[in-house]
Structures are given as C-alpha cells and as structure tokens.
C-alpha cells in the first residue's frame, strides 16, 4: 500500500520533515517514491509547503495519508480540495485555487511593513517628552538623588579632598 507520510531530516534535536509518498513497507527515513513537500515545526510560524497537484494526484490514485500527514494536509486545505475533486471539480481549478492564497501571503508582509512604519515615526501623545515636563520637576529629581545617597559618602569625599591639600 502507498502512504503519504513524513520523513525526518535534520540533525539531532533539530528535526524537520519532508512530506513523501512511500511504500508502507519501506523504513521511515528510507526509500520513497516522490517528495511532495516539507514541514518545519521549529520556525515561528511553522513552515509548511505542499505541492498541491502532486498531493491530489497521489490521493486520487489511492495513497493513504498517515495521521500526521493528514493533519498537515487538512491545514493546507488539500483534504477539502480532494473531497471536491471526488465530487467532480476539475484538478486545474483546484490547483489554481491552492496557488492563489500563496501569492497573496507573499505580498501581504510587504503591505503590513509599510503600514507599521508610519506608526513608529509618530510620537505617542500619552507619553510626556522632556520638553513637556516643567523645569521644577527636573530640579526636584536632582535633590531627591542627593538625599538618596548615604550620609557618610559626602563627608568622606570632603575629608579626602582636605587631606590631599
């Protein structure tokens, strides 16, 4: 039986996965028929890319996804499109639909970055700036700093200066 499953790649404690089509008797990281995508759970957000056309092809010819692969296929919407393929929709329409959101995702970060930039340049009206504070408050903070010093520290400094003379 042919399965769609995850193949572990990456070094120790740095796992990432390839989504592959393989014979169910082959070892987990062994021989496979075709690589149809990859999954990296260590990035924020998780990286997941599936070749939609090939995944639908293999599902259509009877490949069974494992539980983890089925979860990833549901996340990308491939399983929903497969159900629609079984209902009679054309493969080309479904693949075009799958590629459309990917193009929108690539353009979206650029738009968000442009929107965030003007906000960062404008000063916040709630936060007082140095110009807005009256001078008396600045003088009061200096006297508080002098009062906060230990009593012996000022006397010792004066005694040292007198002994040097």
pLDDT in tens, 42-87: 998 889 999 988 898 899 899 999 999 999 999 988 888 888 888 8
Distance separating alpha carbons of residues 16 and 31, to the nearest angstrom: 18
Let me know if domain 2-121 sits in CATH 3.30.1320.10. Answer: yes
Residue 111 has pLDDT above 50, yes or no: no
Per the listing, tokens 């007082």 go with: 128
Predicted pLDDT of residue 66: 92
Q: At what angle do helices 78-87 and 67-76 cross, to 10 degrees?
A: 80
pLDDT tens-digit map of 118-161:
554 555 556 555 555 555 555 555 555 555 555 555 555 555 55
Kindly list the domain boundaries of the chain, sorted by start residue. 2-121
């Amino acid at each position: 039986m042919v399965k769609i499953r995850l193949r572990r790649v990456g070094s120790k404690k740095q796992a990432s996965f390839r989504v592959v089509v393989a014979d169910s008797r082959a070892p987990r990281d062994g021989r496979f028929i075709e690589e149809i995508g990859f999954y990296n759970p260590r990035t924020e957000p998780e990286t997941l890319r599936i070749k939609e056309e090939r995944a639908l092809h293999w599902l259509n010819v009877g490949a069974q996804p494992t539980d983890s692969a089925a979860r990833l296929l549901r996340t990308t919407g491939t399983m929903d499109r497969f159900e629609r393929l079984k209902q009679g929709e054309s493969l080309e329409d479904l693949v075009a639909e799958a590629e459309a959101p990917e193009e929108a995702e690539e353009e979206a970060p650029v738009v968000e970055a442009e929107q965030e930039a003007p906000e960062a340049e404008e000063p916040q009206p709630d936060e007082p700036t140095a110009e807005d504070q009256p001078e008396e408050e600045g003088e009061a903070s200096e006297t508080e700093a002098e009062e906060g010093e230990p009593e012996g520290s000022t006397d010792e400094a004066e005694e040292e200066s007198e002994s040097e003379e």
